[in-house]
Amino acid sequence: MISGAEIMVKCLESEGVSLAFGYPGAAICPFYDYLYRSSIKHVLVREEQNAAHEASGYARAGGKTGVCIATSGPGATNLITGIATAYMDSIPLIAITGQVNSELLGRDVFQEADITGACEPFTKHSYLVKDAAELPRIFKEAFHIASTGRPGPVLIDVPVDIQTAQVPEFEYPQKAEIIGYKPRTQGHAIQIRKAIEAIEKAERPLICCGGGVVLAGARDELVDFARNSSIPVVSTMMGIGVVPMDSRLYLGMIGMHGHANANRAMQEADLIVLCGARVGDRAVSAPQQVAQKATIVHIDIDPAEIGKNMTAHIPIVGDIRLVMRSIADQMKKQAPQEWVERVLRYKEEYVPAGVPENGTGFVEPRSFMRALSRMMKDNAILVSDVGQNQIWAARNFNVKEGRFLTSGGLGTMGYALPAAIGAKIAKPHRQVLCVCGDGSFQMAMCELGTLCQYGVGIKIILMQNDRLGMVCEIQEKRYGGRCIATTLDGSPDFVKLAQAYGIRAAEARSNDEAERLAGEMFQTEGAFLLVCRVNPDTPTL
């Protein structure tokens, strides 16, 4: 006989899971008891939301499905923001929650929450397990669903009596058989042909890549396609780093906070190859206007994305990697020289905002981000939080062979610190830089404990302007300067705070000092917090 809890652990082992992030509680104790006896490493977070973010950073940097665990009731509900964040960015995640005894379900007993119900809008799929014998099938399906097609979080809610129930034997299924789930991977040959014809005919073609390209592992294919066809590339925020940003044909990020020259190219293009982008309002504010002027070739693995926010003239549903490969192989023509020169001229004319400040008592954050990207290794992973710090990073950091991780869809403050911890655990030999504001940092700073406990050597840049900068800017511009609830008085001395945890820390008040300290920071083994005092009047753009 074997217990449900042991089966759960064996399922994780069968899926090759070597590490999970979580926070225990009474309703998940049987599972933890078997985790104790397994080789799976467990990272104890300081609040459950961060377990999901850490698993998300781990999944994104490591290219595998992340696993997070919480107990029933508040443990489970605390996970929700993390699950929703992963859902919006299509991150493969398995969330395992304990649940009260199945016979007590629906009676509002201690620490009971209908977590499958609450997570319904934010999960790709969810299971409330009613029979321990079903666990192997459910785990197999859950991992399959989370990691294939358009990835996303899958929740498995396991009542405590199911964890203790005894089942005759354990056998892990070879394959997941789900009749209603067969994601299409091969693009339709006729659609691909049509797309190639349209691209070859276009006078002003442009590639716009989103986060889907990264998820599909199609960076090489996309770069090949762009290089062979000389078609210029723009990206959404989630698509940053798909094409090395120092590539000649890369124009920049589009959208509300994007580069003006990249937006101008979007406006002037007569054909846009949209790859793995859901065309959110921050990326393209008036998608129908763009679609009126340009032919849209939309490649996405999720058929529901086609035509949702923007009319697609030539939709191709499939795995971007496969579709890109066949387009790249069949394309013969180069993009018109005149167009390429035009957009490259726009790129040259673009002058990045922000010059280094010395003697004002402040670090100028935009130029400092550019300096940081010069100092860091080509394969460094940059994790940004949400707010001004995110835009400063996205617009100014040059992602080359590395990655840019941020909460692009849901815009979850407090994402960066836990996600950076997860990313560093997945890629211990890579530089991982976490950029936060003082608002977002304070939402997640309890994770400094996790960071210390597991010796995670991430470098943290904390842009301290004592403001919720982006909201404050909105209040200045649109609400007559009536700034309310956006000043962060009462913040601690962050350097001392870090030191209290035993983390090395320093504060910079000029760009020269910041660069010098950053140099020291990158020489330091282990974690480092660099607080940069930023002028509250520094604009987002």
Partner 1 sequence: MKYTLSILVENRPGVLSKISGLFARRAFNIDSLAVGITENPEISRVTIVVNGDEYVVEQVEKQLNKVIPVIKVKVLEPGKFISCELSLIKVNCATKQRAEIMKIGELMKAEIVDVSTSSITFRFTDNEERTQTLISLLKPYGIKEIVRAGTLAIEKGSSTAKKQNV
- Which residues in this chain contact partner 1 in the complex, by CB under 8 A? 116-117, 120-121, 124-125, 128, 145, 178-181, 302-304, 306-308
Residue 151 C-beta: closest distance to partner 1, Å: 13
Q: What CA–CA distance (Å, rounded) separates 284 from 467?
A: 28
CA nearest to 215, candidates 97, 305, 295: 305
Task: Tell me whether residue 116 or residue 511 sits nearer to partner 1 (CB atom).
Answer: 116
DSSP codes joined into one string, 333-372? PPPPHHHHHHHHHHHHH---S-----SSSS--HHHHHHHH
Task: Tell me whether residue 44 or residue 304 sits nearer to partner 1 (CB atom).
Answer: 304
Residue 301 C-beta: closest distance to partner 1, Å: 11
Residue 145 phi/psi, 5° resolution?
A: -65, -45
Task: Tell me whether residue 125 or residue 140 sits nearer to partner 1 (CB atom).
Answer: 125
Residue 44 C-beta: closest distance to partner 1, Å: 31
Residue 39 C-beta: closest distance to partner 1, Å: 31
Q: What CA–CA distance (Å, rounded) separates 28 from 70?
A: 7
Residue 302 C-beta: closest distance to partner 1, Å: 7
226 three-state secondary structure: helix
Task: Tell me whether residue 42 or residue 137 sits nearer to partner 1 (CB atom).
Answer: 137
How many other CB atoms are found less than 10 A from the CB of residue 207?
Answer: 30
C-alpha separations of 453 from 126, 239, 424, 450, 502 in Å: 32, 33, 14, 5, 11
Residue 154 C-beta: closest distance to partner 1, Å: 9
Residue 327 C-beta: closest distance to partner 1, Å: 23
Tokens linked to 269: 């293009």
106 three-state secondary structure: coil
How many other CB atoms are found less than 10 A from the CB of residue 84?
Answer: 21
Task: Tell me whether residue 46 or residue 125 sits nearer to partner 1 (CB atom).
Answer: 125
- Cβ(257)–Cβ(356) below 8 Å: no
| DSSP letter (8 states) at residue 133 | G
Task: Tell me whether residue 20 or residue 296 sits nearer to partner 1 (CB atom).
Answer: 296
Residue 176 C-beta: closest distance to partner 1, Å: 11
Task: Tell me whether residue 41 or residue 184 sits nearer to partner 1 (CB atom).
Answer: 184
68 three-state secondary structure: strand
| DSSP letter (8 states) at residue 45 | -
| DSSP letter (8 states) at residue 303 | G
Task: Tell me whether residue 301 or residue 508 sits nearer to partner 1 (CB atom).
Answer: 301
CA nearest to 441, candidates 418, 407, 473, 474: 418
